[in-house]
Amino acid sequence: MGTRRLSGLQKDVLRLYRDCLRAIKTKPEETQHRFRAFARQEFEKNIVSVKRTDVRAIEYMLRVGRRRMEQYMSPNVRDISFI
Amino acid sequence: MFRVASIRLAALVSRARVAATVTAAPRLAINKPNMMPSIITSARWYSDNGGLSREKIESRIINLLQDFDKVNQEKLTPTADFSKDLGLDSLDTVEVVMAIEEEFSVEIPDDDADNISSVKKAIDYIAGREDAN
């Protein structure tokens, strides 16, 4: 097999990422690549800043992340700019 | 399994016909045919996935991975592991599985998606999905 088994927490993170990608498909096509790059960047930022053993921090960030995703899912948000 | 289903179906059809022609009660005549669809859909057809052969699935998945710029193209084979061979991290893998969803117009539930970690597993999964196209 060789493939690493994912922990429950890892699965939760990947599920949030998957939900973000699904949500991005509801955005105008020409802006989707920016939303995707933004989501990716936000996840990567936290991958380096949070220790993988810090369960409480990860759970907290999952909640924050989901809430932010829901905010961005508003149809009023049509485009995004970030650095 | 098919035989049993077809015998039952035949029995139902003939009963329904009898109901429709002989019985005067309209309730029966309406109810019997209504039972048929559930019996038809409960029969499984183990066919070759509506023309989606394994080779076709394989080449479409490989093509899709060739367009994915993070993939280590030199190690791209039908048995390659997403992380060990192709150098993809877990976020990349999510992106690849989503791309496969779009390619074959299926929705892959989270639990299934979590287990797709190699080209072979992706091919197996799509081959097992009767609604993939």
Closest-CA residue to B128 (of B67, B54, B74): B54
Angstroms from B64 CA to nearest CA on chain A: 17
Is some CB atom of chain A closer than 8 A to the CB atom of B118?
yes
The separation between CA B66 and the C-alpha centre of its own chain, rounded to angstroms, equals 24
Q: Where are the alpha helices (DSSP H) in B79-128?
A: 90-103, 110-115, 119-128
Q: For B114, which of A14, A21, A40 is closest by C-beta distance?
A: A14
Q: Rounded distance, CA B129 to CA B1, Å?
A: 20
pLDDT of residue B52: 85
Phi then psi for residue B64, to 5 deg, are -60, -40
Angstroms from A64 CA to nearest CA on chain B: 18
Q: Model-level pTM?
A: 0.72
Half-sphere exposure of B22 (CA within 13 A, CB side): 7
- Count interface pairs A-B at CB distance under 8 A: 34
Name chain B contacts of A6, Cβ cutoff 8 Å.
90, 114
Q: Which residues of B are catalytic?
A: 89
Closest-CA residue to B68 (of B80, B90, B86): B86
Q: Rounded distance, CA B96 to CA B120, Å?
A: 13
Q: Any idea what DSSP says for residue A6? A: P
Please answer whether residues B125 and B106 qualify as being in contact, where contact means their C-beta atoms are separated by less than 8 angstroms.
no
Half-sphere exposure of B2 (CA within 13 A, CB side): 4
Q: For B90, which of A14, A21, A40 is closest by C-beta distance?
A: A14
List pLDDT tens digits, range B11-53. Answer: 655 555 544 444 444 554 445 455 555 555 555 555 545 568 9
List pLDDT tens digits, range B67-80. Answer: 999 999 999 999 99
pLDDT of residue B123: 97
Please answer whether residues A1 and A50 qualify as being in contact, where contact means their C-beta atoms are separated by less than 8 angstroms.
no
Q: For A14, which of B83, B84, B94 is closest by C-beta distance?
A: B94
Q: Report ipTM (2 d.p.).
A: 0.88
